[in-house]
Amino acid sequence: MANPFISLNAEQREQFLTEGYIIVKGLYTEEDVRTIEDRFEEISRRTIPGLFEPDLSENAEDPLKRYPRVMHPHRFDEIAKQYMLHQPVMDVLADLYGEEALAAQSMFYYKPPGSRGQALHQDNFYLQVEPGNCIAAWTAIDAATEENGGLLVVPRTSEHEISCPELADSSESFTTHYVKPPKEHKAMPVIMDKGDVLFFNGNLIHGSYRNKTKDQFRRAFICHYANASATHISDHYRPLFRQDGTQVDLEINPDGGPCGIEFDMAYPH
């Protein structure tokens, strides 16, 4: 088990409020991280229709064809669900929200050598949590650097309105949406050690680099959460879960968001 969580200090809370993100260390033990590694290594050799469909042939030219992201592993794997509801992470989220957090989504990114990154975007464009916001818990299963495709954030954009995306550069991003940062705001790298957890606000503009290495994966276990007082969320993320595993069904958010109801979302986040 991870060490019992001690509440965030005033400086950490202030950083999350002003910058839109914080890194918290010590929420996972080395054994926890190894358990996650081993389970997703096993999953990487399988196919789960609609959630993980790798090209298992030896001829896949795009490394992301062989190692696409795993969507909602908590829906078919108990270990993934266990760590989506990991008590120390849920404690941090409750501290940030000022109320109970509800787990909405899990994902696993393998980010193999040579793979494209993900263009700058905002999570709550997809989750549509209302009232309130989503928060991501992004756990580094490998150390994340500029070279192996670590995360980029645009500080102080957590209060920036959700924007209708532009078209991303498909040669550098495996997703199609791009949100341009506001003037005088620049993306910066977030360097993380193995086992670190990055928490960030659903409006924060963020993305990732291409993995420029020849021999390093940049694996990450990523979950999204909603505040317990939220009433609506996008249909892709239902049902949600309390920390004890109890299901919660929020209403489907009918709001089309900044792009209008006719906008093609292209994919769930």
Q: What is the pLDDT of residues 162-213, one digit of tens each?
A: 999 999 999 999 999 999 999 999 999 999 999 999 999 999 999 999 999 9
In which band, very low, low, confident or very high, does the pLDDT at 265 lie, cut at 50, 70 and 90? low
**For range 8-35, the mean pLDDT:** 97
The pTM (predicted TM-score) of the whole model is 0.95
Query: What residue type is assigned to position 171 of the chain?
Result: S
SS3 118: strand
The pLDDT of residue 259: 86
Tell me the CA distances in angstroms from 108 to 143, 259, 264, 269, one per residue in order. 15, 28, 24, 12
In which band, very low, low, confident or very high, does the pLDDT at 228 lie, cut at 50, 70 and 90? very high
The pLDDT of residue 263: 61
The pLDDT of residue 1: 47
Q: What is the pLDDT of residues 24-68, one digit of tens each?
A: 999 999 999 999 999 999 999 999 999 999 998 877 789 999 999
The pLDDT of residue 269: 75
The DSSP secondary structure of 54-117, one letter per residue, reads: ---STT-SSHHHHSPPEE-GGGT-HHHHHHHT-HHHHHHHHHHHTS-EEEEEEEEE---TT--B
- Checking if the pLDDT of 267 tops 90, the result is no
The pLDDT of residue 167: 94
Q: What is the pLDDT of residues 78-112, one digit of tens each?
A: 999 999 999 999 999 999 999 999 999 999 999 99
The pLDDT of residue 58: 74
Q: What is the dihedral of CA 93, 99, 104, 108, to 10 degrees?
A: 10
Q: What is the pLDDT of residues 115-154, one digit of tens each?
A: 999 999 999 999 999 999 999 999 999 999 999 999 999 9
Specify burial of residue 93 (Cβ count, 10 A radius: 0-12, 13-18, 19+).
buried
**For range 7-29, the mean pLDDT:** 96
- Checking if the pLDDT of 268 tops 80, the result is no
Distance CA 104, CA 116 (A): 26
Distance CA 67, CA 55 (A): 8
SS3 225: strand
**Residue 260 CB neighbours (<10 A):** 9
Contact 72, 107 (CB under 8 A): yes
- Checking if the pLDDT of 256 tops 80, the result is no
